[in-house]
A and B are shown apart, each in its own frame.
Chain A
Amino acid sequence: MKEILVRPERCLGCRSCEIACAVEHSETKGLFSAASEKPTPRKRVYVEFAPEYAISVPMVCRHCEDAPCVSVCPTGALRQDGVTRIVSHDPEACIGCWTCASVCSYGMIGRNREERVAIKCDRCPDMEVPACAAACPTGALVYKEVEEFSGSKRAESALKMARGVAAGGSR
């Protein structure tokens, strides 16, 4: 299964992911038309800024394998697909109790002001690559298998260590 993985060192804080997310979750699915839609289309990805380090980090629902939001939801509005592990949200069943928001470690539960219910990432069921990852101009958000992502990180790190060995370190 592919996941939306984050490489925060690449984020420039342009918020293209946020815009693409809101557009993908609009009625018309076009930027120019979505901008004037009512109710206003809502994003489900958030670029957070850490002022201590002047670094932006795109935050997106992790679709946790053991999702606390799903286990606490009293109405079954939040469900997890047995195969894909995608956590989906049914606004019809949601009572707006915000228990899910209380237990989510990442703060990925938003609020739909008009409907007064929770709103969260659905990982763009109609798209091959989720809108946020597709829109990221620097590759800070990538849509990959964890194995592949970690594999390339491992290889990168191993290369660095190998370079150190070749340079005569710890011999």
Chain B
Amino acid sequence: MAKNVYEKSVDPATRAMLLEAERAGIETAWDRFEKQQPQCGFGMLGVCCRNCNMGPCRIDPFGEGADRGVCGATADIIVARNLLRMIAAGAAAHSDHARDAVMTFKEMAEGKAQSYRIKDEAKLKALASEYNISTGDRSPEDVALELANVLLSEFGRQTGPIQFTRRAPPKRQKVWEAAGIDPRGIDREIVECMHRTHIGVDNDPVHILLHGLRTSISDGWGGSMIATDVQDVLFGTPTPTTSESNLGVLKEDEVNIIVHGHEPILSEMIVAAAEDPDMIALAKKAGAKGISVAGMCCTGNEVLMRHGIPTAGNFLQQELAMITGAVEAMVVDVQCIMPALGNLAGCYHTKFISTSPKADFPGTVRMEYHEEKALETAREIVRAAVENYPNRDRARVNIPKEKSACMVGFSAEAILGALGGTPQPLIDAIVSGAVKGVGAVVGCNNVKIQHDYGHVNLVRELIKNDVLVVTTGCNAIACAKAGLLRPEAAKEAGSGLRSVCEALGVPPVLHMGSCVDISRILVLAAALANHLGVDISDLPAAGAAPEWMSEKAVSIGAYVIASGVYTVLGTVPPVLGSSAVTKLLTQGTEGVIGASFAVEPDPFKAAKLMIERIEEKRAGLGLGA
């Protein structure tokens, strides 16, 4: 039975666009999900192996058929290997994004990428000093070049440690060393995942999973952290600013450009090009009142955090943005971009523009971007969008009115700045019990869960119970749309959290950025733990990914627990075909890294699990309930 639009999403703008899609006979992810039913039971349980051509093999989860693959791999081995490959893909995505950011940074320092400059010199100096690079009387570009080279060497490092892993509290570093999971390099760990999962290499589930944790640390405290910090130096470290979110940010009478994907490298230039008076004049000539850039997914989060560029929506809204009929150009870079957009663009005037040398899709206009000519390419893209404006079919324009105000831009630096340069006030609030603890809620959308239902309800439940929420990615956008990123949302919080938020003038849910910016959450957690002289696993904190779907989310989940934070997943990972791996992930890791996973699709029950964990940790620190 197909679901109705109310069952598909809690977001009114999404419901309106899904009705429009139904009316127009246009297929969306929800329809394709229906057509995929029933999904393969072997796949869902993780017991299918395609790693060699004696297979594919699968294990009968009910014990009547094969209990081993051709090579003899059991369900435990197959599930662990498949999970390791998911972590490898996720870590690769984040870290390859980071590599591109550093390459741009390097070309900027060498004067080859003239579109870019150093925006945050203070952060440049701070990073340089972490690497013992002298800054004395050198030009910022000179320092940047040396920094770029050492950052690049982190990817190919063979023996570790990755410098930013030293930001973790000393106790956490010891935990990693004791477990043998302190990463030796970024690329090395990812490559080793592929080696270990090749036929006939690593066939011990515990051994395999430990390497998964090591790989994930090289993402969270390596690739992702490098991406965040280099982007901050290049584009500015976010500070609190206000904006709007949801499909209602699209403009009836302006050229609408959506930047979608994950990297700020080109989108920063598009934002600049769209502000160019020549381009605006061109838009006016085409009959528009101006040019409006809106974000989607994490590219959206990047430009939202740094420039207050409004966000049109999260992952499951990408098709819906096109269905408004008001988008002149959907400009994409990498990750979480549905190939379905190509067909859909054919039904509207929208130009689907792919820009990354790595990522193309059916039905795109290809406008490949390179660092040396970034602004030029951005101008061409904006021009293409402007020239497409007269092709807009006014009869088909249907922009939902919904949009919500939001306060964003809470980098770790901004949060510490707001607290007066030290985490002490937040610690005082936690000690007094006004703030019970911190919940990190992140992750994707997934059609398996009513869109935004998991996100919004989990976050509401946490703040109601005085848990301060830090958020990134598609959860952050869901919260923005639900009005939870407004300082007035403090009214929805428990009295303790409410008073703290009102005193500081901040929302009870702090938007910390894109999915690579979960590294900001790690930095904040490390600052709190270091200030108290404890490990991150001692903090009254818990994580959640209520609607996760991507392999990146698997890597994130792994590095969050490897950092010592208990994490509740809202959708079931493909591991239940192995009771051994399931037990390891939900219990076994506790004894090794002080944290584990839980799976709970019901956001209210998930909040309860997180709060219980936070209470436990409060008790451990000798704090009252």
Given contact pairs A32-B576, A40-B62, A135 touches B45 in the complex (Cβ within 8 A): no
Instruction: Give the chain B neighbours of A137 by CB distance below 8 A.
Output: 38, 40
Given contact pairs A15-B58, A41-B62, A35 touches B38 in the complex (Cβ within 8 A): no
Q: Which of A18-26, A71-79, A147-155 contacts B (4 or more CB under 8 A)?
A: A18-26
Interface residues in A1-52 by Cβ distance below 8 A to B read 14-16, 18-20, 22-23, 31-32, 34-36, 40-43
How far is it, in angstroms, between the C-alpha of A22 and the C-alpha of B65 when the chains are bound? Answer: 12
B38 touches A16 (CB 8 A): yes
How far is it, in angstroms, between the C-alpha of A94 and the C-alpha of B133 when the chains are bound? Answer: 82
A31 touches B45 (CB 8 A): yes
- B41-53: CB near A (< 8 Å → 1, else 0) gives 1101100000000
Q: Which residue of the partner chain A has the closest CB to B41?
A: A19
A15 touches B64 (CB 8 A): no
A43 touches B64 (CB 8 A): yes
Q: Say whether B277 faces chain A, with CB atoms less than 8 Å apart.
A: no
Instruction: Give the chain A neighbours of B65 by CB distance below 8 A.
Output: 15, 18
Q: Say whether A67 faces chain B, with CB atoms less than 8 Å apart.
A: no
How far is it, in angstroms, between the C-alpha of A43 and the C-alpha of B65 when the chains are bound? Answer: 10
How far is it, in angstroms, between the C-alpha of A70 and the C-alpha of B344 when the chains are bound? Answer: 57
Min CB gap B303→A, angstroms: 39
Across the interface, A35 reaches (CB within 8 A) one of B40, B61, B64, namely B61
| Chain A contact residues, majority secondary structure | helix
A20 touches B576 (CB 8 A): no
Interface residues in A113-135 by Cβ distance below 8 A to B read 134-135
A22 touches B62 (CB 8 A): yes
B41 touches A20 (CB 8 A): yes
How far is it, in angstroms, between the C-alpha of A15 and the C-alpha of B62 when the chains are bound? Answer: 12
Min CB gap A110→B, angstroms: 9
Q: Say whether B579 faces chain A, with CB atoms less than 8 Å apart.
A: yes
B42 touches A36 (CB 8 A): no
Chain B: interface size category: 10 to 19
Q: Say whether B63 faces chain A, with CB atoms less than 8 Å apart.
A: yes
List A residues at the B interface (Cβ < 8 Å).
14-16, 18-20, 22-23, 31-32, 34-36, 40-43, 134-135, 137
How far is it, in angstroms, between the C-alpha of A137 and the C-alpha of B40 when the chains are bound? Answer: 9
How far is it, in angstroms, between the C-alpha of A154 and the C-alpha of B469 when the chains are bound? Answer: 64
How far is it, in angstroms, between the C-alpha of A23 and the C-alpha of B572 when the chains are bound? Answer: 17
Q: Which residue of the partner chain B has the closest CB to A26?
A: B62
- A-B pairs with CB below 8 Å: how many? 48
A43 touches B62 (CB 8 A): yes
Given contact pairs A22-B62, A40-B63, A41-B62, A35 touches B576 in the complex (Cβ within 8 A): yes
| Chain B contact residues, majority secondary structure | loop
How far is it, in angstroms, between the C-alpha of A20 and the C-alpha of B61 when the chains are bound? Answer: 11
Report 26 cross-chain contacts, Cβ distance below 8 Å, ordered by A residue: A14-B40, A15-B58, A15-B65, A16-B41, A20-B38, A22-B62, A31-B44, A31-B45, A32-B45, A32-B576, A34-B61, A34-B62, A35-B61, A35-B62, A35-B576, A35-B577, A36-B579, A40-B62, A40-B63, A40-B64, A42-B62, A42-B64, A43-B62, A43-B64, A134-B38, A137-B38
Q: Which residue of the partner chain B has the closest CB to A111?
A: B64
Other than A14-B40, A32-B44, A137-B40, give 9 A-B pairs with Cβ distance below 8 A.
Answer: A15-B60, A18-B60, A19-B62, A32-B45, A34-B62, A35-B576, A35-B577, A134-B38, A137-B38
- B31-75: CB near A (< 8 Å → 1, else 0) gives 000000010111011000000000000101111110000000000
Instruction: Give the chain B neighbours of A35 by CB distance below 8 A.
Output: 45, 61-62, 576-577
Instruction: Give the chain B neighbours of A36 by CB distance below 8 A.
Output: 576, 579
How far is it, in angstroms, between the C-alpha of A16 and the C-alpha of B36 when the chains are bound? Answer: 13
How far is it, in angstroms, between the C-alpha of A32 and the C-alpha of B62 when the chains are bound? Answer: 11
A31 touches B41 (CB 8 A): yes
Instruction: Give the chain B neighbours of A31 by CB distance below 8 A.
Output: 41, 44-45
How far is it, in angstroms, between the C-alpha of A32 and the C-alpha of B576 when the chains are bound? Answer: 6
Instruction: Give the chain B neighbours of A16 by CB distance below 8 A.
Output: 38, 40-41
Instruction: Give the chain B neighbours of A14 by CB distance below 8 A.
Output: 40, 42
Min CB gap B82→A, angstroms: 15
Instruction: Give the chain A neighbours of B58 by CB distance below 8 A.
Output: 15
How far is it, in angstroms, between the C-alpha of A31 and the C-alpha of B576 when the chains are bound? Answer: 9
How far is it, in angstroms, between the C-alpha of A23 and the C-alpha of B60 when the chains are bound? Answer: 12
- B234-247: CB near A (< 8 Å → 1, else 0) gives 00000000000000
Min CB gap B223→A, angstroms: 32
Given contact pairs A15-B58, A22-B62, A32 touches B38 in the complex (Cβ within 8 A): no
Instruction: Give the chain A neighbours of B45 by CB distance below 8 A.
Output: 31-32, 35
Instruction: Give the chain B neighbours of A15 by CB distance below 8 A.
Output: 42, 58, 60, 65
Min CB gap A21→B, angstroms: 9
Q: Which residue of the partner chain B has the closest CB to A135?
A: B38
Q: Which residue of the partner chain A has the closest CB to B75?
A: A35
Instruction: Give the chain B neighbours of A18 by CB distance below 8 A.
Output: 60, 65
A23 touches B64 (CB 8 A): no
How far is it, in angstroms, between the C-alpha of A18 and the C-alpha of B63 when the chains are bound? Answer: 12
Interface residues in B543-583 by Cβ distance below 8 A to A read 572, 576-577, 579
